[in-house]
Amino acid sequence: MSFWSQVVEITRVDLKVERRLGDTMRIVLPFAVVALLVFPLTLGVDLSAISRLGPAVFWAIGILFGMQVALRQAAHDDPERRDLYALLGVDPAARFVGRTLSGGVLMLGFLGVLLVAMIALYSPELPDSWFGPLLLTSILVAVGLTELGTLAGEVTADLHNRTALASLIIAPLALPLVIGASSTLEAMTRDAGILPWILILVATDLALAVAGVGLARPLEEASR
């Protein structure tokens, strides 16, 4: 079976399992919205500050809770299933790409709902024609964060404290994504160029993709 057929099959089944488990939309998303709701309470009644901080809070909460989406249960294979995939001839790189695609779709949906909630709760002053750049930024963040989550999941596969360890790996490595995403929005509000920040996000995504595909086989073999 071709590499891309395996990618499509992994993505399809991953999304089906996630739909049945509901980790992202029924558990992570409501808690992220509550966090978005609670944050302004710490600022009192300063509405202009709330409005100004909205986009930054959106990215901070989006990436923090997005780590849980990236490490969702549906993207974790127990040792028996990893052995089975190897014996079925599944390319570990296809598993990485498939997991990244399914996670990217979920992450984009998650960020989309969170964005609507942020606009409703914070009434931020968004620049004209904000939708296109914000969509592009969200896609790049979704892909990068999922790549990072999939990679961290593979590094910590079969470890008892996998969830805690994987989060600790993701948090510092997600910094370029946090900086790139929040700076893009800030640059837009100042009418400054967003290209350098977009390039940081693209470079991060590409580096993670190369690392994920290149390390997929060694990590799978080392996990046994």
For position 75 contacting other proteins by CB under 8 A, the verdict is no
Rounded distance, CA 133 to CA 158, Å? 39
For position 224 contacting other proteins by CB under 8 A, the verdict is yes
Per DSSP, the three-state class of 55 is helix
From candidates 26, 87, 161, 190, binder to other proteins by CB under 8 A = 87
From candidates 42, 45, 48, 80, binder to other proteins by CB under 8 A = 80
From candidates 4, 38, 49, 81, binder to other proteins by CB under 8 A = 81
Q: Which of residues 13-42 bind other proteins (CB under 8 A)?
A: 13, 16-17, 20-21
CB of 224 to other proteins, least distance (A): 6
Q: Cα–Cα–Cα angle for 122, 128, 130, nearest 5°?
A: 65
From candidates 29, 61, 67, 90, binder to other proteins by CB under 8 A = 90
Rounded distance, CA 155 to CA 166, Å? 8
Candidates 87-95, 121-129, 167-175, 208-216 — which segment interacts with other proteins by CB under 8 A? Answer: 87-95
Kindly list the residues in this chain that would bind other proteins in the complex (CB under 8 A): 1, 5-6, 9-10, 13, 16-17, 20-21, 74, 78, 80-81, 83-90, 217, 221, 224
